[in-house]
Structure formats: C-alpha cells, structure tokens
C-alpha cells in the first residue's frame, strides 16, 4: 500500500517570502499522480497543483511550483511571494495512475501560517 508522509506539522513564512513544504511517499509503482491540496479555514479542499510521475518537468502554477524527485520519492511544494491568503492546511496526496477508482492517499498535512 502507498503511504504519504508530511514531516512538517506547521510552517511559518513572512509575507512576500518563499516557503517549501515537504512530502515524501512510498510506492512500488512507476506511474502515478501526485497532488497538493489546500484547505483554508473554510474547509474547502482546493487543488493547488498536480504532477504526473512520467513527466520529468516540474509542474508550475503561478506562484506555486513543485520539486519532484522520483528516485527519492519526494514531492515538495514551493510557494513564492507568499500572501496572507496562502495561510491554510496543505495536503500532499498520491494517486495510482490506472486501475479502478484511482483512490487518493493523503498525508497528514502541514499548517502554513503567513505573517506580516
């Protein structure tokens, strides 16, 4: 079974600075998807960014980018120019590439605080 580990329960960053959230995973599969979800106090689960394992290029979405290291099974999220609205819980998730249902396995989350 796949496992996802987020070793940083809490992180803090100053507004306009850059922060990196860590995620590692364990799998024997070669093809899969990785996601970062944001959960603000409103409780919504918002997709931040996704990465297909077969793609070597790191995904980027505006101020959000990932550092995907397949051999090391590492998938970190970098937030540049942090904004107050970035304060939230961030969850890393793994999904099988194929097969029925393609269930998500989540990490335990990292709470990000953004300070002035």
Partner 1 sequence: NAGVTQTPKFRVLKTGQSMTLLCAQDMNHEYMYWYRQDPGMGLRLIHYSVGEGTTAKGEVPDGYNVSRLKKQNFLLGLESAAPSQTSVYFCASRDGNRDYQPQHFGDGTRLSIL
DSSP string computed for 14-41:
ETT--EEE--EEE-S-SSEEEEEEEE-T
At residue 35, φ and ψ (nearest 5 deg) are -135, 150
From candidates 7, 12, 102, 115, binder to partner 1 by CB under 8 A: 102
Interface with partner 1, residue 64, by CB under 8 A: no
113 binds partner 1 (CB under 8 A): no
User: Which residue's CB is nearer to partner 1, number 18 or number 97?
Assistant: 97
Q: Torsions phi, psi of 38, nearest 5?
A: -110, 135
Of 2, 24, 27, 50, the one binding partner 1 by CB under 8 A: 50
- Say how far apart CA 79 and CA 14 lie, in whole Å: 11
* Binding-site ranges for partner 1 (CB under 8 A): 4, 33, 35, 37, 42-45, 47, 50, 52, 91, 93, 97-98, 100-109
């Amino acid at each position: 079974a796949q496992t996802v580990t987020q070793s940083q329960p809490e992180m803090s960053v100053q507004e306009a600075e850059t922060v990196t959230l860590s995620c590692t995973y364990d799998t024997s599969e070669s093809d899969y998807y990785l996601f970062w979800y944001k959960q603000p106090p409103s409780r919504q689960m918002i997709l931040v960014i996704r990465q297909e394992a077969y793609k070597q290029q790191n995904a980027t979405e505006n101020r959000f980018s990932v550092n995907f290291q397949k051999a090391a099974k590492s998938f970190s999220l970098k937030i540049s120019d942090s904004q107050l609205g970035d304060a939230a819980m961030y969850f890393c998730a793994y999904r099988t590439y194929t097969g029925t249902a393609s269930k998500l396995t989540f990490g335990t989350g990292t709470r990000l605080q953004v300070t002035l």
